[in-house]
Chains A and B, each alone.
Chain A
């Protein structure tokens, strides 16, 4: 089976712009979670989608949003980018919802200048 794929892998944006990141889960996986990883804060949970509905949300401002499509692919959007949004954004999929094993993609490295 193909693993989790994320596009693009690298992105450079300017403060104030918006960005959309994409994640394709492993075939058959219906749960997709997003994480932000920075050297200072580590891995922070953003949100989880299951069956096209957001089921769980981390402690991030409303500038961070996401959605899931009927084929389980997911996108996350960050509006009005700030310098502090520079991070590695990781997507993880799992067969079921919950606290089981997560399969991670390679991440999207976002740099905000």
Chain B
């Protein structure tokens, strides 16, 4: 079963608008990552936020993490047509201190369409 669930499944906005995607998960995590995938190609890492962090920025991206609600959001500001892609959250769970048992689980993604 999926650990991270993105919401909404699809989002369509106009160029210049902001896009917000949410991710909810079920168990305790060590980190949460966001990836972008263009049209059935490989995924590109966008940002990683650790469980002890609440907010992180990278260029036009802002990620928040609320571990009490087990949720994260990805905000893309001033969107561009080139931001059209699927966005995935991935939860990282490390199950023991030695790091030999860990799990990185991807959600099913949000399809973002930015119209010019």
Contacts and interface: CB of A to CB of B under 8 A. Distances in A.
Nearest to B101: A56
Given A88-B40, A107-B40, A109-B40, A101 B45 contact: yes
Nearest to A106: B42
Interface stretch (A13-21, A60-68, A70-78, A92-100): A92-100
A31 to B, nearest CB: 11
A109 B40 CA distance: 9
A97 B98 CA distance: 11
B30 A99 contact: yes
B104 A106 contact: no
Contact of A45 (B99, B100, B105): B105
B115 interface: no
B43 interface: yes
A42 B44 CA distance: 16
Nearest to A107: B42
B43 A102 contact: yes
Interface string B74-102: 00000000000000100011100001111
Interface of A: 4, 33, 35, 42-43, 45, 55-56, 88, 90, 92, 97-107, 109
